Structure 1
Amino acid sequence: MLEVCLLGCGGTKPLPDRWLTSLLAKFNGKMILIDCGEGTQITLQMLGWGMKSIEAICFTHYHADHVVGLPGLLLSIGNAGRTEPLLIIGPPGLKAVVQGLTVIAPKLPFPLHLIELSPHEPDTLKVADVVLHVLPVLHTVPCLSYGIEIKRGRKFDPEKARTLDIPVSLWKRLQNGEEISVEDRLLTPDMVLGPPRRGIKVCYCTDTRPIEELVGFIENADLFICEGMYGEEEKLPNAEEHKHMLFSEAASLASRGGVKELWLTHYSPSLADPENYLGAATTIFPNTKLGEDRMTTSLHFE
């Protein structure tokens, strides 16, 4: 089971009733946080999942509404008793940003490991038991979108193993993907495993124009969390100038990508009543929901 929480749904600045956009994903007791704007640790504490077990913090880009909550969060994680290294991932400039922000958090009880990713090429990383896919997108500064994928192992077929006279003592090793040489035989996992099975996929995209590469990146996602900076169609010139999206553009991506569900987020502070514009998205992609602070779901293998 993958648990997902949209910690906040605002863009630019936190409001009294709207925290800044950030995503928290939890699998097998470990968590990944994407973006950490001002006040992120407050809504995180309101959620109640804790923070000590955050394995990685991923930044989409380095505008203030996505990063300035980092030093306070790091200090709170340290106060929670963490001593294990913490991974921080982001586009180029990560080292300078983290060094600057941690001037006010100079003595952490755990080391920080930094990974800077290309602003031009897709990438894939493994974080704990999660596969993290990364896609550069189109904003006013280098910016990344993230995909969280939980792989599902192929089902072991004991009948195949018995038919092939494979000793029971070797079954687990084959199920775990190991090739085994026994006398004159090479035993491979394909001999005893069923067809590939669908895993779980969540994609998070904010601060970008809708680019063609996003369609393939989000393909068949169980959940697509995408910015809807503006609900009004007449705000298209603003979206184009500042490299953001309309509700309708996010919905079009969701429809073309064949995702199961779309959550809109990263609303402009001027968008006081996003519910008034939901129809602009649902007419294109019916299974669209308006993101809310600490909106949570649990995703299971089929």
Structure 2
Amino acid sequence: MNMEAFILGCGGMMPLPYRHLTSVLLRRDGDLFLFDGGEGTQVSLRRLNLKWKKINAIFVSHTHADHVTGLPGILMLSSQVDRTEPLYIFGPPKIAEYIETSRKVLDMYINYPIVVKEITEPGVVYEGDGFYIRSFPLEHTKTCVGYTLEELDRPGEFNPEEAEKLKIPKGPLWGKLQRGESVVNEDGIEIKPEQVVGKNRSGRKFSFVTDTMYLPSIAKEVKGSDLLICEGMFADGCEDQAKEKKHMTSRQAATIARDANVLRMGLIHYSPRYNDKELNVLLEQAQQVYPEARLTKDRMRIEIPYVE
């Protein structure tokens, strides 16, 4: 089952000609999940030629303009295709008012159900086949949340050679063992699943954190992520400004990645004061703490494979 993240925009505060505002699309096989929708989201989606009109759900960190101004266009363009499945939108208080006001003022024609759910406490907000998406609190100048998508454990790997040695004929009995059921072999001996199936294998974890001051508690929430997308808005020397605006430096983001023992971390939501060349300063400072840190860029694709 494939999983991949597409960086639709990596900028913060204001769009630049070469940098749209923060937005990430996560694709898990046929499911599509949008995390934030800053200005320019539609442009990147169309340039990537993704089937974005079938987005299952949108997860909004907070209702500052640089994270939601791309959403009205997404809602309107989604009406250009036949759709019966509802579009779910999750976010902190005010997201329902923003969506409803946008629909009313812009006189949107919407031919599919939109279900908006405001997050008032941390926990699971969305569940699917073999995974769930959970929210957790951040600290910004207004209510803000982070998200993780976590897959359930996968069954262990089936060993056909061992099954044959134990005289279990290939066919339905193999299927039962893989489903966790005991069977009887050709000699009438009971064979248990653990004799031919390995231990459960872990699923994958994707985490999205932006617009927050540094909190040691974030590391616990994103612990063990296969991919953490995390804001690293400022360079060293801007700690006071980051604290005042309740943002993070790239070094603080890297500290979270290190403490959470994540496999990979992509920095996002850069201050417009840094041009693309100057972003290398953010990267170098992050890698001093967490060597696997990387810069994200608009329309970058990041594969999230299973770790066996």
Q: Which amino acid aligns with 2:200?
A: P
What SS is found at the alignment partner of 1:52?
helix
Q: Distance in 1 between matches of 2:193 and 2:214?
A: 41
Q: Is the 8 A contact 1:52 1:81 kept in 2?
A: no
How much has 1:257 moved relative to structure 2?
A: 0.8
Task: After superposition, give the CA deviation of every residue in 1:226-265 in whole Å (9 maximum; x if it has no partner).
Answer: 001112x221111111110001100111111111111111
Q: Is the 8 A contact 2:124 2:132 kept in 1?
A: no
Distance 1:293 1:167, change over 3 A: closer
Task: After superposition, give the CA deviation of every residue in 1:54-93 in whole Å (9 maximum; x if it has no partner).
Answer: 1001101111111121111111111133332111111122
Task: After superposition, give the CA deviation of every residue in 1:28-63 in whole Å (9 maximum; x if it has no partner).
Answer: 222000001122111111111121221001101111
Q: Distance in 2 between matches of 1:131 and 1:243?
A: 28
How much has 1:16 moved relative to structure 2?
A: 0.7
Does residue 243 (structure 1) correspond to residue 246 (structure 2)? The answer is yes
Distance 1:133 1:191, change over 3 A: farther
Q: Distance in 2 between matches of 1:226 and 1:282?
A: 14
Distance 1:191 1:124, change over 3 A: farther
Distance 1:50 1:99, change over 3 A: same
Query: Of residues 200, 205, 222 in structure 2, which corresponds to 1:201?
Result: 205
Does residue 283 (structure 1) correspond to residue 288 (structure 2)? The answer is yes
Distance 1:49 1:152, change over 3 A: farther
Q: Distance in 2 between matches of 1:91 and 1:175?
A: 41
Unaligned runs of 5+ residues in structure 1 are 180-186
How much has 1:117 moved relative to structure 2?
A: 1.6
Q: Distance in 2 between matches of 1:6 and 1:288?
A: 15
- Number of the residue aligned with 2:10: 9
Q: Distance in 1 between matches of 2:181 and 2:52?
A: 35
How much has 1:166 moved relative to structure 2?
A: 11
Matches within 5 A, 1:60-139: 60-103=61-104, 104-118=106-120, 120-123=121-124, 125-127=126-128, 129-139=130-140
What SS is found at the alignment partner of 2:238?
helix
Q: Distance in 2 between matches of 1:41 and 1:228?
A: 24
Distance 1:138 1:3, change over 3 A: same
Q: Distance in 1 between matches of 2:131 and 2:271?
A: 31
Distance 1:128 1:67, change over 3 A: farther
Does residue 224 (structure 1) correspond to residue 228 (structure 2)? The answer is yes
Q: Which amino acid aligns with 2:114?
A: L
Does residue 274 (structure 1) correspond to residue 279 (structure 2)? The answer is yes
Distance 1:277 1:88, change over 3 A: closer
RMSD of aligned Cα (Å): 2.7
- Number of the residue aligned with 2:39: 38
What SS is found at the alignment partner of 1:195?
coil
Distance 1:268 1:132, change over 3 A: same
Q: Is the 8 A contact 1:30 1:128 kept in 2?
A: no
- Number of the residue aligned with 2:264: 261
Q: Distance in 2 between matches of 1:169 and 1:20?
A: 52
Unaligned runs of 5+ residues in structure 2 are 183-190
Using the aligned pairs only, state the percent identity. 35
- Number of the residue aligned with 1:300: 305
Tell me how many residue pairs correspond in the alignment: 295
Q: Distance in 2 between matches of 1:13 and 1:21?
A: 10
What SS is found at the alignment partner of 2:294?
strand
How much has 1:191 moved relative to structure 2?
A: 8.6
- Number of the residue aligned with 1:153: 154
Query: Where does structure 1 differ by over 4 angstroms across 4 or more consecutive aligned residues?
Result: 156-179, 187-193
How much has 1:150 moved relative to structure 2?
A: 2.9
What SS is found at the alignment partner of 2:243?
helix
TM-score computed with the length of structure 1 as normaliser? 0.87
Q: Which amino acid aligns with 1:109?
A: N
Task: After superposition, give the CA deviation of every residue in 1:197-241 in whole Å (9 maximum; x if it has no partner).
Answer: 12111111000012122111111211111001112x221111111
